[in-house]
Structure 1
Amino acid sequence: NRRTPFDSKVDLFEHFNQNTNIFYDNYLIVLSFITLQALLSFKLYKHYYFKLFALLTFISIVASFIPFIDQIFNGFSAPQKRWHYLISLNAAVLISFYIKYFRTLSLKNYVFSSIVALSYLFISAWYYSDFVSWLWFTPIVSTIGFLILLVNHAKSRVKLTYLFIISIMILNLLISFVFIRNQIYFEDHVERANKDYINASLFNTPLQRQLVSQMTHHKSEDERIDWRVNEQDNTPMYQHFKGISIYSSIFDHNILDYYYDALKINMQEESVSRYQSTNARQNINSLFSVQFLMLKDYQNNVPAFFKKVKTEGQYQIYENTLNLPSVRVTNRVYNSNAINTPIDREHAMIDGVVVNGKGQKYTDTAQNLLNQTQISYKNIKQMNGQHIHLNNDNSRIQLHIPEHLRERFSDFYLTLKVKRGYPDSNFTVNINDYANHRLFNNSTYRTGVDTQLYKTQPDAQGNININLSPSGNYQLDIKSLHGENYQKLQGAHGSKTNIGHYRNIKNGVKVNLSSHQNGIATINIPYRDGMTAYIDGKKVKPFKVNYMMTGVSVNKDTRQIMIKYRPKYWYTMIIISSIFILSTITWLIRKKIKNK
C-alpha cells in the first residue's frame, strides 16, 4: 500500500488520561490489575521467564505512551495504535507465571502489591467519575489470593490455587463483557449489528443484488460496474461483481499512485487505503471498460456519455455508450516523463500507450484555459501569497467561462491546491454542488495530497463556483483549467480494429486477440511484480504501461496471451521456510537422542 509521510506535529509522549490508562476502561485495551500486581512482586524476579516477561510487559506499557512507537508500527506514517496485542500477549504470559509462583510470596509482599493495584483502580474510577461494574470483583480476587497464602499446608495451597485461577478467569470475562459493551457495542454499533441493517439500503438489499445480477448478465466478464453503497467501498467484494472501489490496507500501491499522482482522480471522501469510482471522468471509465454505473436517485454525478437505461425504486442504471475494449494493441508509444497533465495522460492512453521512460513525446497537448476566464472573490480576504481568509460560509471564488469555450467543451477539468489553515478542522471543497470532503491536517487518515482535480461543468450563467467551508484561513492555488470535448474517445470507440477481451483463469487472465498490428497489447488490469506472460505458449516478460496497467509486446500474428501471477519471491520463501523446518526437525531429533 502507500503510506503518506506524516508531516504534522507528533508529541514525544502521550497525555495520561482515560483513553491511555490501559489498566482501566479505555477504548483500546484493558489489562487486568493482576498484571500490575505481578510487576510489583519483586521476589518473583529471581525466576528467569517471570523476569523476562515482566520486563517485556513493562517495556510495552511504557512504549504505549510513546507515539513514535505507534508510527513505527504504521509504516513510519501517522501514529496508529496497531500493535497493542503485543502488550496483551506479554501480560498474559506474565500472569501465567505469576499464578505459578505466587504461592511463594510473603504475605507482606502480596498485601503491598494488592493495595497498590486496587488503589490505582479505585482512584481511577473516582477521578474519571466512571465506575465500571467489574471493579467490585477485584477485591474478591485479591482476598482469595490472600486466604490461600494464609494456608501453611503446601499441598492444600496448590489445590486452592485453582480457585485463584477461576477467580482471575471470571474477572477477565467481566472485563471483556464491559469492554465490549462500552467500547464496541455502543449505540451506533448496536443499530448496525443485526440482519435488518445488513439487508437495508445502507448495505446490501435484495433489490441491489438483483440489479447487480442484471448488470452482470448484460456485460462481458472483463467489463466493470461502478456501484457502491453510500461510503461502502468494499461493495464489489461482498456483492460479488467486478467494480472500481475498495477499502483495504493491503492492496497494491500502483492503484493509489494512479489515483493520487498520474490522473489525480478526485475521491469524494478523503481517506488513505481506498480508491473509489472516477469522479465521473468519462475517459477513465472507458479506458477501464466500465460498462454500467448505478446511482441512487439523489446522486447526479454521471459521466458525459453514460445513458440512463433503467430506473427501479431509488436506483438508476446508466450504460457507457463510448466504452473501450479491455485489451487494445497499438504501436504508438508515448513517454510518460514527457506528459505533464492528467488530461494529456488520458488522451495519450486513448491515442496509444504510455510507457515509463520509453517512446516519443506526446505533442497533442491540451491548452490551459485559466487566463481566458474571469476570476472573482466574494467575502474573501486575500492575504500574503496564496493564503486567504473566508469571512463566512457564503464566501466563494467564481470562474466565469466565456461562451466560446462553453460551446467548444462539454466538460472542464479544474485543478486546485487547497490546504486548511487556522483553525484546523475537516473542510469541504464544493465545486458547483459537487462536495469533496477533506480531512484536518493532523488526521491520521489524511492522504497528504492537497492538489486535486475536479471535473465540472459551468452553471447556466457560465460560472464555476468554488465554495470552501467552514470559514477561516486556507491556502488556495488555482493551478489550471482544461476543456474536454471527447473527440479522441469518440475516434477510439469508432475504431473496429485492435479489439481484444480477457477472461479470468486460475491465478491470471487469458486474452484472445482479433486482427491487429505489431505493437504493445495493453490489458486494463493492475500490473504487479510477479506477473509472467505467455504469448501463444512462449514465455515473455510483461511490464507496466498506462501508469498501472499491464502491457505485453506482440507481433501481428499473436492470437493468445496468458498472464499468470505468483507473489514475488514465492519460491525463495518456500526454500527458506523448508530449510528452517528441516533444521528445526533435525535439532529436535538430535536433542531427543541426546536426552535418551
Structure 2
Amino acid sequence: MFKNHPYWCLLAISFALAVLAHGAFLYQWTQGQYMTGINDGLSQMMPFKHLLYEQYTNGEFFYSFDFGLGAGTFSELAYYFSTSIVFLITIPFVWLLDIAGIVQEPDVLFWANAAVFISVIRMTFVLFITSRVFMYMKIPYWPAWIGASVYGISGMFFRHTVYWEFFADSFLWLPLLILGIEKIFREQKPGWFLMAVSISFFDNFYFAYINFLLSAIYILFRLFIPLSSAENNKKKKLLTFMGAGIIGFSIGAVAFIPAVYAYLNNHRPPFQQEIPIFDPFDNILYTSRYIILPALFVLFLFMFRFYGNKTFRLFALLGIAGIVMHLSPFVSSVFNGFSAPQYRWEYFISFAAGGAIATGLTMLTKISRRNFFIATGLTGFIYLIYALLDPALEFDWMETGLVLGGLLLTIAAVWTAFHFNKSGTLIIVGPVLLAWLIAYANFYQSEKIMEMGNVDQVSKELITGEDYDNPEIRGLLKQIHERENDEMYRIEWMQGVRNNTPIVQDFQGLSAYSSILNKNLLYFYLYDMEIDMQRESVSRYATLGNRANLFSLVRGKYIIRSADDSNIPYGFKELLESENYKVYENGNVLPFARGATEFYSEDKLSMHPPLVREHAMLNGIVLNTEEEGSPIQVTGDITSKFTIEEKEASYDDGILEVTGETGGIDLVWEDPAEGQGDLYVSFNLVNTAEDEGFNLTVNDYVTSRKSNQSVYKTYVDDLTIRVPYQDRVEIRVPEGRYFLTEIQLFEEDYETLEREADENAGLKELEIDGSRVEILYDNIADDDYLSAVIPYEMGWSATVNGVDVEVLKANYAFVGVPIEAGENHIIFTYRPPFFVPSLILTVLSLFFAMFWLFRKKRADSE
C-alpha cells in the first residue's frame, strides 16, 4: 500500500504510534475528561485559545479590551498562542468546521475537547520530522523511527502539552534546527537552518531562546566531532551559521520584536532565593517528573565499542552532557533567562538519547560477549547507586516496577538478539523498547499527570459547572448585558482564583493572569495605588480592594458577590439577585473619557499616600512629567487620632510578636466623627518566618500573603486596606514575629467622587473596535487634557481633529492627550510596538533570503 509513498508510510506509522502513546488520555476523553491542566491549563491555555480564536476570526489581530483592562494581545500573548504556528494552522480548520456546523461555537469547552487530538497530530509530526532528521544522518529507516520515538514519546512531551500546551511545540522545532545544522556541516547548505531559525523566532521568543542555547551546544560538539569528509573549513561554516541566523532572525522579526518588547515591559520581582550550582537528586532513572532515561540508552552508554562510531559518540556525549546539566539548578536558571530554575529544556536529553539508541541499534550485531557483560554490569551498578542514594525512593509495583521491569526486559532482549539471532536484533530489541515507551507513557499520563496533577478532575461537568463557568453567574451576566447600552462597562467577578474568568464568561472584567502583563498596570496595582488583590501572587491583577474611587475611575460599573458578602464598596446599590449571588451597581461611575485642566506630577505625588493619588486623578489628571503641576492637597489624615491596643501580642518599635493563635493590634478612634464613608489603613508588613505563608485580616477583610520562599511572592509589603467607616480597625495575623511599620489612617467621605460623578460629561460619542477607539468630546470646560480608560503602552497613537498628537501616560497607567477648546474628534489606534519596522524587516529579509539562497545554489552548481 505504501510501497511508492515512503513518506506517507512513515507518517502513517507515526500516527499509529502517537495514538497508542496517548492511550490513557484518549480513554479519558471517552469518559468526558480532558487533556488539560486544572490550573494553568484551564486558567490560561484554554481561555487564551478562546480569546485569540474569536479575535482572529473576527479580523482583529492586535488588541483586546476583553483581556484584563485591555492589552496588546499580539505581543503580550506571544508567549502563549498569538504567534504559535501550530495554533495558527489549527484556526482555519476549526473555522471551517464551525461555519459548516460540524462543531458548536469554539469556546473553552471545545478547546479542552480538542486538546488530545491536537496533541496526537503534533506528536505524529514530531515523530515524522525527527525520523527524517536521523535518516538524513545516515541512520537506517527503522532504527531512525525507533530513535525518534524515544524523543517524541517522552514524559516531558505530555507534561508540556497538559500544563502549558504551547511548550510542546518546541519538540517540533528542535529537530528542524538540528537538521539545518547538519545541512550546513555536511553540504554547506543554509536553507533548512535559515527556515528553522525563522520559524523559531516567529513562533515563540521564549523557546527560541531555549532552542538556540541547545543548538549552540550541538554546534559546539559538532565542531569537535565531524561526521563527514566535507567539514574541514570550520570558520566558513561558522560564518554561514551567523549569516543564516541573522537572516532567519530578521524574517521572524515581525513576531519576535513585539514579543520581546512585551517581555521587557512586563514586571516580575527578581528571584531572590539562592540558586545552587549542583543538586544531585532528581532521579532520572526511577521517579523524575521531567525525564526518565530508557534502560537501553543507559546500557548503550556503557557499550564502549559503540564510541568508535562518530554519530553514536556525538549523541552519547550530548546525552551525558545533558544529564550533568540537568543536575544543576543554575543551568536550569540560565535556560529560564537567569530567573527561577525551570526544567523545561530536558527534551534535548530525550533527543540525544533517541539518536544514541538509533545509532546503537545498527551496531548491536558487532558487540562481543565481553562488551555485553561489562555494559550490563555497569548499568546494573548505576541503577543500584541511584536507588540507594535517593532517600525519597520507595518501591512501587507500578512506577519502580515498570522501570526495573523495563531494565530486565531490555537486557534480556539484547542478550537474546546477541546470543541467538544477531540478524534479527532490530526485530527483537525494537519492539521491546517501543512497548516500554508506550507503557511508560500511559503510566506517566495516568499517575504523574492525571492523578498527581488532578487532571482527572478536568471534565465537562467542571468546565460548565459552578466552580469554573457557573450557569447561575451566566444568567446574571445575561441580565446585565440586556439592560446595558454603554460601549464600555466593567464587571468585577472572578471564579475563585481564576483571574481570566472574564474571558471564559465573555464579559469585560477587572482581572487578568498571564506571565506577561503590561508593566504600567502592574505598577498601578502594586505600587502606585497599593491595591490589595486578596491573594499575593505575581503575573496577576484582580479586584480593586473595594475602593470606590478606583471602581469609578476605570468604569467598574457592576460587582457580583455571594449573597452573604456584606463588604460592598461605597456607592454600590443592589440591582439583581439569584439564589446564591447578588449584583450591585455603581452609582458614581465616571465617563470613559474625561477632560482635565488641573494636572499633577506623578513624581511629586510619589511622596503622598494612595488616597491622595486617587483624589488627584479625580480632580484632574496625573502626568509623568518633570513640570511642577498643580498644588497637591492632603486631606483626611487621621493617624494621630488613633491609639494602639495590643491583642494577644506585643508591639514595640515596629516589631509585632503574636503569642496567640492569631493576634495583632487594634487602632482605636476614641472620638470618631459622625458621617459615612470609608477608612484607608496603610502599613508595611513583613513576616520574619523563613517559609510560611499567612492570612492577614483587617476587620472583616481577609487577604493571603506568600511565604518568603515562594517563587510567586511579589515582595511588595506596603499595603493599603479599605474598611468601612468605624471606630476600631483590627489587624490580625497568625502567631509569629512580624515587622509592622509606617502605619497611617485616612478617612474618605467621597465628596470628591460624588462631585465629579454629578458633573456633566463632555463625552458625546464612543466607538471601540478592537485596536481602534474613536471619541467625540465636547470640551465646553476648556480643559487642556483628556484621559481615557485605555491602558498605556507603546503602540498607541492618536489624532485630535485629524492632527497627530503625543499619547501621554496619564493617571499612572492609562492614556491621555492634549485637547482643544470646543469639539474634539479623537482617534486612538494601536499597533504592536515596532510592528511596522519589524514587518518591513521581515519582508525585505524574505526577499534577501531567496536571493541569497538562489545565488548560493547557482554558485554551487557551477
TM-score > 0.5 by shorter chain: yes
Pairwise CA distance, 1:58: 2.9
Which residue number corresponds to residue 31 of structure 1? 293
More helix by share: 2
Counterpart pick for 1:334 among 596, 600, 609:
600
Which residue number corresponds to residue 234 of structure 1? 500
- TM-score scaled to structure 1, two decimals? 0.90
Distance 1:107 1:318, change over 3 A: farther
Counterpart pick for 1:206 among 462, 471, 485:
471
Pairwise CA distance, 1:397: 0.4
Which residue number corresponds to residue 558 of structure 2? 292
Matched ranges for 1:388-467 at <5 A: 388-405=656-673, 407-408=674-675, 410-422=677-689, 424-457=691-724, 459=726, 462-467=727-732
Q: Any conservation in 2 of the 1:330–1:498 contact (CA below 8 Å)?
A: no
Counterpart pick for 1:14 among 279, 293, 299:
279
Indicate yes or no: 2:751 matched with 1:487: yes
Which residue number corresponds to residue 258 of structure 1? 524
Pairwise CA distance, 1:215: 1.8
Counterpart pick for 1:281 among 531, 544, 547:
547
Quick check: 84-93 or 445-454, which moved more?
84-93
Pairwise CA distance, 1:386: 2.6
Distance 1:139 1:551, change over 3 A: same
Q: Any conservation in 2 of the 1:333–1:358 contact (CA below 8 Å)?
A: no
Quick check: 132-141 or 371-380, which moved more?
132-141
Pairwise CA distance, 1:198: 1.6
Q: Any conservation in 2 of the 1:536–1:560 contact (CA below 8 Å)?
A: yes
Structure 1: distance between partners of 2:774 and 2:427: 63
Pairwise CA distance, 1:525: 1.6
Specify every segment of 5 or more residues in structure 1 that has no aligned partner in the other structure, as ranges.
none
SS at match of 1:475: strand
Which residue number corresponds to residue 64 of structure 1? 326
Distance 1:91 1:226, change over 3 A: farther
Measured against aligned partners, the alpha-carbon deviations of 1:225-250 in whole angstroms (never above 9, x if no partner) come to 11011211110111111101111102
Residue identity opposite 2:650 in structure 1: K
Matched ranges for 1:174-573 at <5 A: 174-186=439-451, 189=454, 192-219=457-484, 220-339=486-605, 340-359=608-627, 360-382=629-651, 385-405=653-673, 407-408=674-675, 410-422=677-689, 424-457=691-724, 459=726, 462-469=727-734, 471-499=735-763, 502-516=766-780, 517-573=782-838
Structure 2: distance between partners of 1:585 and 1:167: 46
Residue identity opposite 2:547 in structure 1: R
- TM-score scaled to structure 2, two decimals? 0.63
Counterpart pick for 1:169 among 434, 454, 458:
434
Distance 1:316 1:84, change over 3 A: farther
Q: Any conservation in 1 of the 2:595–2:762 contact (CA below 8 Å)?
A: yes
SS at match of 2:568: coil
Pairwise CA distance, 1:408: 4.7
Residue identity opposite 1:426 in structure 2: G
Distance 1:46 1:555, change over 3 A: farther
Specify every segment of 5 or more residues in structure 2 that has no aligned partner in the other structure, as ranges.
1-265
Distance 1:485 1:57, change over 3 A: farther
Distance 1:173 1:537, change over 3 A: farther
Which residue number corresponds to residue 146 of structure 1? 415
Measured against aligned partners, the alpha-carbon deviations of 1:97-118 in whole angstroms (never above 9, x if no partner) come to 4445555554533443344335
* % identical equivalent positions: 27
Residue identity opposite 2:611 in structure 1: I
More strand by share: 1
Counterpart pick for 1:79 among 341, 356, 366:
341
Structure 1: distance between partners of 2:315 and 2:818: 58
SS at match of 1:392: strand
Q: Which has the higher contact order (CA 8 A, sep 6+)?
A: 2
Residue identity opposite 1:449 in structure 2: V
Structure 2: distance between partners of 1:583 and 1:111: 57
Distance 1:323 1:152, change over 3 A: same
Q: Any conservation in 1 of the 2:656–2:664 contact (CA below 8 Å)?
A: no
Residue identity opposite 1:414 in structure 2: V
Residue identity opposite 1:431 in structure 2: V
Q: Any conservation in 1 of the 2:600–2:622 contact (CA below 8 Å)?
A: yes
Pairwise CA distance, 1:592: 4.8
Q: Any conservation in 2 of the 1:414–1:480 contact (CA below 8 Å)?
A: yes
Quick check: 297-306 or 137-146, which moved more?
137-146
SS at match of 2:794: coil
Measured against aligned partners, the alpha-carbon deviations of 1:519-577 in whole angstroms (never above 9, x if no partner) come to 22211121111222233444333121111101122213453322222222223433444
Pairwise CA distance, 1:590: 5.1
Q: Any conservation in 1 of the 2:690–2:708 contact (CA below 8 Å)?
A: no
Residue identity opposite 1:197 in structure 2: L
Structure 2: distance between partners of 1:396 and 1:434: 15
SS at match of 1:403: coil
Which residue number corresponds to residue 173 of structure 2? none
Pairwise CA distance, 1:83: 3.7
Distance 1:525 1:33, change over 3 A: farther
Structure 2: distance between partners of 1:291 and 1:250: 27
Structure 1: distance between partners of 2:624 and 2:691: 39
Quick check: 504-513 or 449-458, which moved more?
504-513
Residue identity opposite 2:812 in structure 1: Y
Residue identity opposite 1:534 in structure 2: T
Distance 1:591 1:301, change over 3 A: same
SS at match of 2:443: helix
Q: Any conservation in 1 of the 2:779–2:820 contact (CA below 8 Å)?
A: no
Q: Any conservation in 2 of the 1:267–1:276 contact (CA below 8 Å)?
A: yes
Q: RMSD between aligned alpha carbons?
A: 2.7
Residue identity opposite 2:655 in structure 1: H
Structure 2: distance between partners of 1:519 and 1:218: 35
SS at match of 2:661: coil
Q: Any conservation in 2 of the 1:328–1:500 contact (CA below 8 Å)?
A: no
Pairwise CA distance, 1:38: 4.1
Structure 1: distance between partners of 2:451 and 2:714: 29
Q: What number of residue pairs does the alignment pair up?
A: 584
Structure 1: distance between partners of 2:539 and 2:705: 15
Q: Any conservation in 1 of the 2:296–2:407 contact (CA below 8 Å)?
A: no
SS at match of 2:416: helix
Measured against aligned partners, the alpha-carbon deviations of 1:294-350 in whole angstroms (never above 9, x if no partner) come to 012233332111111111010110000000011112222111011122111111111
Measured against aligned partners, the alpha-carbon deviations of 1:356-382 in whole angstroms (never above 9, x if no partner) come to 124504421234322210111122234
Distance 1:147 1:260, change over 3 A: same
Residue identity opposite 1:371 in structure 2: S
